[in-house]
Amino acid sequence: MELSADFFSGKTFSLRIIPFKKYDGFTNMALDAWFAEKNMQPDQMVLRFYGWQPFCISLGYHQSVKVLDINAVRKDNLEWIRRPTGGRAIFHAEELTYSIVMSRMSTHPAQLYRFMHEVFTRALNGIGIAVQLTDDNRPLPGIRQQATDFPCFSYSAKTEVQFEGKKVIGSAQKIYDKNILQHGSILLGVKHEQLVNYLKTDAHARQKILHGLKNKTVCLNKLISPGLTPVTVQQPIIKQLELIKSFLLNYEPLSDDELAAARAAAPDKLRAII
């Protein structure tokens, strides 16, 4: 299987697969940040699949919590957290979330971004969903400077996985001193649209944001029947990775020690402090 030939450069990679499991928002972001800070060898990669228990709103690292209606968030027993990456708010609910970390010595961030989206595209094509890999980096419509008009899924990046022009997957990166962190959401259902219920803004702005989400995103369970679960989407992704001769896959769930270390080391800014 040939994927992004420049990405491999004739090397062999040891890819640790951490299978799908749900955690609270703080733990998920603490784990992503912890792996990104680890001393990884140039031939090491870690790919984790996860979900959110309870559902959670994540803000971009530099985004103000003032954009959220905290009372509404608490009333519905939700969490909010900051991502290590930048960008705008996302409501994590009906989705498969992934994160991948690898050494900066191994590849360029843009190559990693495209490679992962190529894998996702082939995996989804393989289960009968005709998504396409696009290279359109023009911003989709939106009011960039308004704090409340910010859903990440309303904007395109350089390489996107789309169905008939609508985003299926949203990804972001952060470049650390030693590693590259990339994580993102693969939409399964429509609950991400409920983000508008938790924004501190007026009804007109909410309707405009909701219109953008409905017109610029599509979830997988609208494209295939019967409905998909995080595990049934994870499986074809792993299958595609198994076909890559340059990869040696190692399936290893998180240990209790890793969970404890990640939580203890998490930057204070990630925590849900009001």
Give start and end residues of each alpha helix (H) in the chain.
5-8, 25-37, 70-75, 109-126, 203-216, 230-242, 256-265
The amino acid sitting at 207 is Q
From 77, 71, 70, 75, select the one nearest 55 (Cα to Cα): 77
For 110, residues 6+ apart whose C-beta sits below 8 A from its C-beta are 158
User: In terms of DSSP bridges, do strands 166-167 and 79-82 run parallel, antiparallel, or are they unpaired?
Assistant: unpaired
Please say if 152 is a catalytic residue.
Answer: yes
**DSSP β-bridge partners for residue 52:** 23
What is the DSSP code string of 223-256?
TSSSPP-HHHHHHHHHHHHHT-TTEEEEE-PPPH
Instruction: Specify the residue for token string 């508008």.
Output: 196
Q: Among the options 152, 168, 187, 218, which is catalytic?
A: 152
Residues found in the chain: 274
Cα 86 to Cα 63, 121, 124, 181: the distances in Å are 8, 24, 27, 12
Torsion sign, CA atoms 185, 171, 107, 126:
positive
Helix, strand, coil fractions of the chain, as percent rounded to 5? 35, 25, 40
Q: Which two tokens stand for residue 181?
A: 């962190």
- Residues noted as catalytic: 152
